[in-house]
Chain A
Amino acid sequence: MAAVQTSGERALNKIAIVAVLIITIIFLAPIYWIVSTSFKPRNLATTIPPTVVFTPEISPFVKLMTKRSQLREQPTPEEYAAAPWWERMVFDGGEKVVRDGRGDVQWSAYPSRFLNSLIVAVTSTVLAVGMGTFTAYGFSRFKVKGEGDLLFFILSTRMLPPVVVAIPMFLMYRMVGLTDTHVGLIILYTAFNLSFSVWLMKGFIDEIPKEYEEAALVDGYTRMQAFFKIVLPEAATGIAATAVFCFITAWNEYAFALMMTNRRAQTAPPFIPSQVGSGLPDWTVIAAGTFLFLLPVAFFTFLLRNHLLRGMSFGAIRK
């Protein structure tokens, strides 16, 4: 760029900044909506025009975590005084927390669905990235017969929308008893991510000069040792970037999770909207569930943001 900007360039720069700001606002607006709704009292969640100024409260999160039922009659003052602070919030909303025979609070299914999401997403990411890295290394370093065709075949598994195979997959899964199991979802998501992982990792590993491994081989290491001691640390950036993408895909997947699971292995995405239908929709609770669900991905992405940036611009510059 020129050291001195002309007035035209300055104006263009300003326009660009304004454009970026507008785009950012458009992208952030739904997230703001979800976050703000998750802290709203129920009666303010659906007002028109939307309420912007309100006193935030955490009652949606309390409701999210507990099983509740409609109040038929107001609680007695004694009951109200004896209830812990969070239970009073539920009373204030015209509901009561369900307790079992011994008086223990009944938790909602949300925590277990959230845990299911974590188990499935983390395991399938580890598997897809791990197998992808090995496969990519093989393609990158060795002469593989029919390499081009094999790589194309791997890529071709992504050429149709996954939902197209939903029905045959469902039938097969039912036949082998994989419906509503963690293993079933993990296999499914690993398969979805594997081709992506192979292709991305191959790009990263191609960039690592093979002289590093050759040096290690001559230095007295086996190829396996050279892979773990030299290639893996060098490919860390690529592995991180690939892992983020795979994790996001598995974490956000909705269609198959909805179809293949209904209780034991159900993940959060199909569970959160399923609450819409039970009783009157409480949008604040749905927003609270969504907000919590956004956190792990946001956190994970933030942790690896430098790697991600490199991952995005990867291959754009020829060294």
Chain B
Amino acid sequence: MTQIELRGVQKWFGAVQVIKDLNLTIADNEFIVLLGQSGCGKTTTLRAIAGLETIDEGDILIDGKKVQHLKCSDRDIAMVFQSFSLYPHMTVYENIAFPLRATRMAKADIDKAVREVAQVLRITDLLDRRPSALSGGDMQRVAIGRALVRRPKAMLMDEPIGALDAKLREEMRAEIKRLHVKQGSTTIYVTHDQIEAMSLADRIVIMHEGVLQQVGTPEEVYQRPTNLFVAQFVGSPVMNVADTTIRETGGEVAVAVGGTERGFPFPRELLSKLNGHAASDGIALGVRPEGVLVRLEPADGFLPVEAQLIEPLGSFDIVDLKVGKEVLRARTKSGFISGTGEKVFARIDPAQAHFFDKASGRSLGVSL
């Protein structure tokens, strides 16, 4: 049982505040991913939990006990670094045994524990090698082994696979997931890669400029982003965001994008859900490419648009559609639109549309 809690954590580097009033509760066995751009404070948060960084205000609690004044060696937490940080002058075996040697464990027990972990990570045949003789993936396995061997209260991982190439990254991602399912320990994982975050996390914590933006399951942050930053940070390709005006003519509600005369038809309940915001023009429409529906023939509710650019991505195409002055990116079957410049018809799926207050960036919480 390991529960980690951050209460009102604040951290300054000189005049720059890198963590701003962070509150977060991490449940036992949970896999939490801290996601954000570089410099958003996610790594500092992780290092503060590990004890490598002091905090200026607030509390860090592990199992209900305040630990912010404890040295890292007293927090019983393991960490995997992006640079792997395997000790170059020790063999793989010694590297994995290193944390156990700090505990004055009996030699035979250390040996047993090291071999067990090596077996789980499939690195038994590498135990006598030096880190310099290992591939990137194996280095990371050893680093994870070194963290696991002590059976720590929690595992912290700082972009552990960021330094690997794309294919290996995918492989290790699956392996980390498999390990977590098997070993089940509270894990905090830092990354700037939203695909890693989506595929690994039980819950994602999105940070921006030291401020927590949203905490939620991968589905929640993808489908119900709380603000423009989250909406545009999570998901690839990026969500379309466009200035919009909402008009009501003759009982029909239309959402116009890019200053066009005709708007995309939306159900009437949009107005009531927007709750008065419709009148102002400080509203931005957000829609993911899969929420932009495309047809080759005219149909009810579809507006004529022009395909400006087609990016074939194998299993699907991303098409830039010119709508008035704006460009909306749509996701189509591959080869659906034959060439650029073609006139096609598009509409926005109201169920996949998001509305944001432009001034604050906050989602207006409309779901249709």
Are these two chains actual partners, yes or no? yes
Would you call B72 an interface residue if the criterion is a C-beta within 8 Å of the partner chain's C-beta atoms?
yes
Would you call B99 an interface residue if the criterion is a C-beta within 8 Å of the partner chain's C-beta atoms?
yes
12 interchain pairs, CB-CB under 8 A = A211-B85, A214-B85, A216-B98, A217-B73, A218-B50, A218-B52, A218-B72, A218-B79, A219-B99, A222-B73, A225-B102, A234-B89
Which residues of A have CB within 8 Å of B76? 220
Do most interface residues of chain B lie in helix, strand or loop, or is the interface mixed?
loop
In angstroms, Cα B89 to Cα A211, docked, is 15
Minimum distance in angstroms from A208 CB to a CB of chain B: 10
Minimum distance in angstroms from A207 CB to a CB of chain B: 12
Contact (A219, B83) CB under 8 Å given A214-B52, A233-B89: no
In angstroms, Cα B102 to Cα A233, docked, is 17
Which residues of A have CB within 8 Å of B156? 218
One of B52, B71, B88, B146 near A219 (C-beta < 8 A) = B146
Would you call A276 an interface residue if the criterion is a C-beta within 8 Å of the partner chain's C-beta atoms?
no
Minimum distance in angstroms from B143 CB to a CB of chain A: 8
A222 and B71 within 8 A (CB): yes
Which residues of A have CB within 8 Å of B103? 220
State which residues 297-349 of B face A: CB under 8 Å.
none
One of A215, A222, A233 near B79 (C-beta < 8 A) = A215
B79 and A212 within 8 A (CB): no
The residue of chain A having its C-beta at the shortest distance from the C-beta of B99 within the complex is: A219
Which residues of B have CB within 8 Å of A211? 81, 83, 85
B50 and A220 within 8 A (CB): no
When each residue 95-115 of chain B gets 1 if its CB lies under 8 Å from chain A and 0 otherwise, what string results? 000110011000000000000
B77 and A209 within 8 A (CB): no
State which residues 234-251 of A face B: CB under 8 Å.
234
Contact (A218, B78) CB under 8 Å given A209-B83, A211-B83, A225-B102: yes
Given contacts A215-B81, A217-B52, A219-B102, 6 further A-B contacts (CB under 8 A): A209-B83, A211-B81, A217-B71, A220-B99, A220-B150, A234-B88
A220 and B81 within 8 A (CB): no
In angstroms, Cα B150 to Cα A225, docked, is 18
Residue of A209, A217, A218, A221 contacting most chain B CB atoms (<10 Å): A218
In angstroms, Cα B146 to Cα A215, docked, is 10
Binding site for A on B (CB under 8 A): 50-52, 71-73, 76-79, 81, 83, 85, 87-89, 98-99, 102-103, 146, 150, 156
In angstroms, Cα B98 to Cα A216, docked, is 8
Binding site for B on A (CB under 8 A): 209, 211-212, 214-222, 225, 230, 233-234
Which residues of A have CB within 8 Å of B71? 217, 222
In angstroms, Cα B131 to Cα A234, docked, is 14
Contact (A220, B85) CB under 8 Å given A214-B52, A215-B79: no
Residue of A215, A216, A221, A233 contacting most chain B CB atoms (<10 Å): A215
In angstroms, Cα B73 to Cα A234, docked, is 21
Sorted nearest first, the 7 A-B pairs with minimum C-beta distance are A220-B102, A219-B99, A215-B85, A211-B85, A218-B79, A233-B89, A220-B73
The residue of chain B having its C-beta at the shortest distance from the C-beta of A222 within the complex is: B73
In angstroms, Cα B102 to Cα A218, docked, is 11
The residue of chain B having its C-beta at the shortest distance from the C-beta of A230 within the complex is: B87
One of A219, A233, A234 near B98 (C-beta < 8 A) = A219
In angstroms, Cα B76 to Cα A215, docked, is 13
In angstroms, Cα B78 to Cα A20, docked, is 55
The residue of chain A having its C-beta at the shortest distance from the C-beta of B81 within the complex is: A211
The residue of chain A having its C-beta at the shortest distance from the C-beta of B79 within the complex is: A218
In angstroms, Cα B83 to Cα A73, docked, is 81
Minimum distance in angstroms from B352 CB to a CB of chain A: 43
The residue of chain A having its C-beta at the shortest distance from the C-beta of B53 within the complex is: A214
In angstroms, Cα B89 to Cα A209, docked, is 14
Which residues of A have CB within 8 Å of B51? 217-218
The residue of chain B having its C-beta at the shortest distance from the C-beta of A208 within the complex is: B88
In angstroms, Cα B99 to Cα A216, docked, is 8
One of A214, A219, A222, A230 near B78 (C-beta < 8 A) = A219
Minimum distance in angstroms from A141 CB to a CB of chain B: 12
B72 and A209 within 8 A (CB): no
In angstroms, Cα B351 to Cα A19, docked, is 82
Which residues of A have CB within 8 Å of B85? 209, 211-212, 214-215
Which residues of B have CB within 8 Å of A218? 50-52, 72-73, 77-79, 156
The residue of chain A having its C-beta at the shortest distance from the C-beta of B76 within the complex is: A220
Minimum distance in angstroms from A233 CB to a CB of chain B: 4
In angstroms, Cα B98 to Cα A212, docked, is 12
Minimum distance in angstroms from A156 CB to a CB of chain B: 29
In angstroms, Cα B81 to Cα A66, docked, is 65
Residue of B71, B72, B103 contacting most chain A CB atoms (<10 Å): B72
In angstroms, Cα B77 to Cα A214, docked, is 12
The residue of chain B having its C-beta at the shortest distance from the C-beta of A236 within the complex is: B89
In angstroms, Cα B71 to Cα A214, docked, is 12
The residue of chain A having its C-beta at the shortest distance from the C-beta of B146 within the complex is: A219
The residue of chain A having its C-beta at the shortest distance from the C-beta of B47 within the complex is: A214
Which residues of A have CB within 8 Å of B89? 233-234
In angstroms, Cα B99 to Cα A230, docked, is 13
Minimum distance in angstroms from A118 CB to a CB of chain B: 30
Residue of B71, B76, B83, B89 contacting most chain A CB atoms (<10 Å): B89
In angstroms, Cα B171 to Cα A176, docked, is 71
Contact (A212, B102) CB under 8 Å given A218-B77, A220-B150: no
